Structures are given as structure tokens and as C-alpha cells.
Amino acid sequence: MSRFSLFQSKPAGSTKRAVPRSSFVCLFLLGGAVILAVPANGQTPDDPPDHSCTLNVGAGFAQAAGNERSNLNQGWNFHAGGGFALTPPPAQGHKWSLFLTANFMFDQMGIKQTALQQARVMNPTDIGLLEATSGKAKFYSTTLDPTFRIPVRGRFSLYLFAGFGWFRRDLEFTGSSSQGALLQPGSPVVFGNGGNSGAYDAGAGVDVRLPRALGGLMFYAEARVLHGLAVNNATTLVPISAGLRW
């Protein structure tokens, strides 16, 4: 008997579902379009110079898209990265800069009870799965992203990126303790499934320079689309994150 689609990258005979036009993604893109429409004034005298390297850390929420959307609830993400400039900083007659940025992202989402129930019905030989009462999906990714940074107005700048990297999808199912609270004080993991593959991503974000006294620290907000390949070719995530960048 074929395994349920929660474990398969692409169920036989299925058609690939388009990425949903979620309202938060539309609002983000609309905000970027508004910023682009405002004439660029360049940096103000109070702005610190652009860094030749960057570090960032942030968090936010994530939504599964395509085939995964019917299996997973909305979840959260953690994002960290760093990079260095490949071009000189923006100046008169040169409004943009190119960075090479490495990004790590962790996303976690709960598995819907309807998907868990269907998995039990379609995989009756997996004893551990039959004992599961809940589950979560964990996604790990590391990508290398060429990033264009464009000053747009005062302390605001826009950046666009796309890249390729490593991606892992793990499913973790938990059930009731069968060995007592001493040995299993929480809900033990009774079944798991996962796989590694490549992935590509693309997205956009906004940097906002904070006061000069903070040494060039910036607030950032970004949205990206992350799509797995090979065994994870039916997995598409839409993480939205915000944090601090130096």
C-alpha cells in the first residue's frame, strides 16, 4: 500500500498546487512597491556608513504552501545570517551594492490532526505511527544568496535576494508515555520521518537604520519563498521574519 502524502514528496497522480496569495505576502510586496515609488534621497549626514560585512538574527512565522498546506498548521521560524560586500558602498552615481550572504533558517509547524489520522489509516503497519497523538514538522535550511541592496529614502533601504543551498525536512510524532513519568516525563517520540535535499529561495526585505548612537544597527523585515528539490520537491515554505542587522 502506498504511503500517505505526508511522508511522500509528491503523491502519485497529484498536480502541483500554486503558492497561495496569502494576505501578508501581498501586503509585504505592496509595501515594497510603495517604497520603490518614493524618490531616493541617499544617505543623510546622520547615517553611519554602510558596513562591508553584515550579521543578522531574527524570528517570525512561516506558512506551508502547495501540497504541504493541507498537512501543516502555520508555525514559527528562526533566522540568522551573515555576509560581505562584493562592490563598493553606494555613492553618487552608484546607488546599489551587491553582497554575498549565507543564511540559516529553522522553521517548525504543527501537523494537522486530519493529516495525522489519514496517515494512520493509510500506513497500518507502522506501529509507532498508530500510537501517535500529535506531531510537528521541522525544516532546516542553509542557503547562499547574492543580495542586491538599494538605498531608497533616508534611513530606508530595500534588498532583493535569491540563492541555492541545503534543505532538510523532519517529521516528529509524539504519543502517550508507556514507561511511566520517570523514564518518559513528557510525550515521547514514537515515530519519525525525514530527508535531505537541495533547495532554492528568493525574497525581498527592508532595512531601517536605527539612531547613530547604536553603531549602525538596523531593524529588518523580510519575506522569502523556500522550495525543496528531489525528495522534498513538494515542500514550499513562506517564512516572514524580522530582527536586527549590523
Q: Which three cell numbers stand for residue 191?
A: 515515530
- Going from N- to C-terminal start, the domains of the chain cover 57-87+97-245
Fold observed for domain 57-87+97-245: Porin (2.40.160)
Query: How close are the terminal C-alpha atoms of the chain, in Å?
Result: 53
Which is nearest to 91 in space by CA: 8, 179, 151, 174? 151
Q: Which three cell numbers stand for residue 41?
A: 534621497
What pLDDT sits at residue 130?
A: 85
How many angstroms separate the CA atoms of 66 and 16, rounded?
A: 7
Residue for grid cell 529588518: 220
Q: Which three cell numbers stand for residue 123?
A: 500506513
What pLDDT sits at residue 8?
A: 55
Percent of the chain with pLDDT over 70: 74
What is this structure's pTM? 0.79
Q: What is the CA radius of gyration of the chain?
A: 21
What pLDDT sits at residue 188?
A: 80
Amino acid at position 136, single letter = K
Which residue stretches of the chain are H helix?
Answer: 23-37, 113-122, 127-130, 180-183
The parts of the chain modelled with pLDDT lower than 70 are 1-5, 7-50, 91-94, 177-186
What pLDDT sits at residue 94?
A: 66
**What's the chain's average pLDDT?**
82
Give 4's DSSP letter.
P
| Cα 49 to Cα 8, 153, 161, distances in angstroms | 49, 15, 22
φ/ψ of 232, rounded to 5, equals -105, 25
